Amino acid sequence: MKKEFIELISDPIIFNEQSQRVFKHADLPMVRNELSVTLRLKLQSHTPYWAVVFHKGTEWLIRTPRLVLIPNKSSLHARFSGKLKNNLGIDELGDGLLLDKWYHIAYTLSDSKKRLDIYIDGEWVGFYGIQDVKSEQVVFNDGPLYIGRTSDHGSFIGKIRYEQHRNKIALVHVSTNKYLSTKGKKYDKINQYMVVGNGREIDLKNDVWTFIGPSGTSVIAENPVPFNTIIGFNHQATGGNLHSHDMNDGRITPISKQQQVTINPGRSRDDNRDDEFFIQRYNSKAFKDHPVYLMNGDEVCLFHITTNKPALYSNSILFSDGTQEVSCHGNGNDENNKWRIELVD
- What's the number of domains the chain is made of? 2
Residue type present at position 145: L
Q: Are residues 249 and 317 in the same domain?
A: yes
Contact assessment for residue 333 and residue 264, using Cβ atoms and an 8 Å cutoff: no
Segment 16-48, tens digit of pLDDT = 999 999 999 998 888 888 888 888 899 999 999
Mean pLDDT of all residues in 167-195: 92
In a domain, 127, yes or no: yes
Mean pLDDT of all residues in 159-175: 81
Q: Are residues 281 and 337 in the same domain?
A: yes
Taking the C-alpha atoms of residue 94 and residue 146, their distance in angstroms, rounded to an integer, is 24
- Per-residue pLDDT, 223: 61
Quick check: 286 pLDDT over 50? no
Mean pLDDT of all residues in 245-270: 85
Provide the domain limits for residue 223. 168-343
Q: Are residues 328 and 183 in the same domain?
A: yes
Q: Are residues 140 and 178 in the same domain?
A: no
- Per-residue pLDDT, 2: 46
In a domain, 3, yes or no: no
Mean pLDDT of all residues in 186-202: 92
Ordered DSSP codes for 128-157: EE-S-TTT--B----SPEEEE--SSS-B-E
Taking the C-alpha atoms of residue 177 and residue 196, their distance in angstroms, rounded to an integer, is 12
Cis peptide before 265 (omega within 30 of 0): no
